[in-house]
A and B are shown apart, each in its own frame.
Chain A
């Protein structure tokens, strides 16, 4: 309590700089964004209150937003499952006494440092090259190509990151527990299911949360790899909102309403995911 009092008068020096930046970059834009979603506007000064009209238009004007929502949901489900299974499998292998684990770990992590835009174009070259060879087509030909292309890109990018988190968690499982299970004659798989996975459940929570949030918000890779082609069929939510805002005339209000829906959607899913996986964690 003494420390608390001692520091509290230093608010202007310690808290104010961050708070000022936070208000400028987040609090004001967030509040304005919420307000503008109920108005028709081109610039902020000419906003006119229209009630829920933007929200209605977002869903009814055409099916693009619903399609984008559906695309994002399918993409997220597939990617979250595949990224976490692959990352956990690699982490299990890399915590065995194998040769060169440090080098492998470094290689798997590398793609994570490269940005989404650059990654998208790197893979565009590769995927188009393969499609050209086997079907004389490219990514813009079929929305299934774009969908699975994005899944591959995101797996390639995120597996290494999640793997690092899983490795740290597996290494934290006390050796005695593993040994005790081994003496009791538990097989590799029953040890995995009854010991290792429950003991690393908090890492599973974190990694599921991180992959979920990143997949739902995916923008750069989507823009670079397919740009929504063919005919917006591979357009995720974030890309659809961006285009509604900047590419469709007089649709800023609709774009902002979509962004609010997007935010509520992401926040709700993240909230329930955290509650669900937390409830599965064991104490320890």
Chain B
């Protein structure tokens, strides 16, 4: 029995080791090629950089410089940070209202939010960009409102699920003491919601940071985010594309995500598991 266990553990470990190395190959390949000159990437993507193909940081200089990529990264960061902050704040408040106020209109609202989760973006892509145009939401500040609206479904749903599990006695006691609803929410409820708020923040950050179509249609002609810059680099350029610069772009697009992941890995993994249980 003991030896069988040992064999199983060793085989399992080695199997996982092999799979995880395969898992990292695509990213390693892009990193490696980002240091090679253009023609060598096309002809021999699997060869390690050598004296002839090594391009140093040249690709990074050309990739960053020509495409306004760093500005795009700035807009991505701006839109993601503020959208996530707004979503967490307003949807947690709304979820509390929906979970605690027993009335026909809160039920209707709840099911409307749930309904919106299943609707594909293509259904509203054209009309949403028209609405954004008319209401002057077609700028990096206005797009935050659109994210709050389109992202409200999932966030409200997760928050409501959690709030319903909080015993209502706590709020009753606070209200008997004379605290306003406003104070009860921010001093009593919101602290309890913290782990759920982290889940909601992570799920929305992953969505907004990587979203391509919404910002492309709404603000894409004036402002670029990282996904828009990457996509335009590959489709917009005529003639020979600078693959070296492109590889550098991909690396710079991925590195901040990995850094963020390494610093808050525990929260992210917990958040995803928790979000799914409520989903």
Contacts and interface: CB of A to CB of B under 8 A. Distances in A.
B7 to A, nearest CB: 13
Interface of A: 1-4, 6-8, 10-11, 13-15, 17-30, 32-33, 36, 43-44, 90, 93-94, 96-100, 103-118, 121-123, 125-126, 128-129, 132-133, 156, 161, 164-165, 167-168, 203, 206-207, 210, 213, 216-217, 219-220, 223-224, 227, 238, 241-242, 245, 252, 255-256, 259-260, 262-263, 266-267, 270
Contact of B231 (A123, A207, A224): A224
Contacts of B277: 165, 168, 206
Given A99-B13, A122-B30, A206 B145 contact: no
B265 interface: yes
A49 B130 CA distance: 19
B131 A115 contact: no
Given A17-B90, A106-B265, A115-B210, 15 more contacts: A18-B148, A21-B145, A23-B149, A24-B146, A98-B13, A100-B16, A107-B24, A108-B19, A110-B258, A114-B254, A115-B211, A206-B277, A220-B212, A266-B120, A267-B118
Contacts of B90: 17-18, 21
A104 B22 CA distance: 12
Interface of B: 8-9, 12-13, 15-17, 19-20, 23-27, 29-30, 33, 41, 45-46, 90-91, 93-94, 96-98, 100-103, 109, 112-113, 116, 118-128, 130-131, 135, 137, 145-150, 152-153, 156, 168, 171-172, 175, 181-182, 185, 206, 209-213, 226-227, 230-231, 234-235, 246-247, 250, 253-254, 257-258, 260-261, 265, 268-269, 272-273, 276-277, 279
26 contacts: A6-B181, A10-B181, A19-B94, A19-B109, A21-B148, A25-B131, A26-B150, A26-B152, A36-B126, A36-B127, A96-B9, A103-B20, A106-B265, A107-B24, A113-B206, A113-B257, A115-B227, A118-B227, A118-B250, A121-B234, A126-B25, A128-B45, A132-B45, A238-B121, A252-B126, A259-B123
Contacts of A7: 96-97, 100-101, 181
Contact of B26 (A156, A223, A238, A242): A156
Nearest to A106: B265
Given A93-B15, A165-B276, A25 B26 contact: no
B273 A164 contact: yes
A223 B231 contact: yes
A103 B16 CA distance: 10
Task: Find the residue from A26, A106, A242 having the highest chain B CB count within 10 A.
Answer: A26
Contacts of A114: 210, 253-254, 257
A14 B131 contact: no
A146 to B, nearest CB: 16
B149 A24 contact: yes
Contacts of B30: 122, 125
Which applies to chain B's interface (DSSP): helix, strand, loop or mixed?
helix
Nearest to A161: B272
A117 B100 CA distance: 41
Contacts of B19: 90, 108
Contacts of A90: 16, 19
Contact of A14 (B181, B235, B260): B181
Contacts, number: 283
B131 A29 contact: yes
B102 A4 contact: yes
Contacts of A25: 124, 128, 131, 145-150
Determine chain A's interface SS by DSSP, over half rule: helix
A247 B268 CA distance: 39
A122 B31 CA distance: 10
Q: Which 6 A-B pairs have the closest CB atoms?
A: A25-B149, A115-B210, A21-B149, A29-B124, A129-B45, A29-B127
A117 B153 CA distance: 24
Nearest to A162: B276
A266 B118 contact: yes
Nearest to B277: A168
B149 A3 contact: no
Contact of B213 (A22, A29, A32, A242): A242
A132 B45 CA distance: 10
A223 B118 CA distance: 21
A2 B175 contact: yes
Nearest to B156: A18
B272 A238 contact: no
Of B121, B150, B268, B269, chain A has the most CB atoms within 10 Å of the CB of B269
Contact of B118 (A113, A213, A227): A213
Contacts of A133: 46
Given A21-B148, A115-B210, A117-B212, A15 B227 contact: no
B149 A13 contact: no
Contacts of A203: 276
B103 to A, nearest CB: 7
- Max chain A CB contacts within 10 Å: which of B121, B125, B130, B135? B125
A121 B230 contact: yes
A141 to B, nearest CB: 16
A104 B19 CA distance: 9
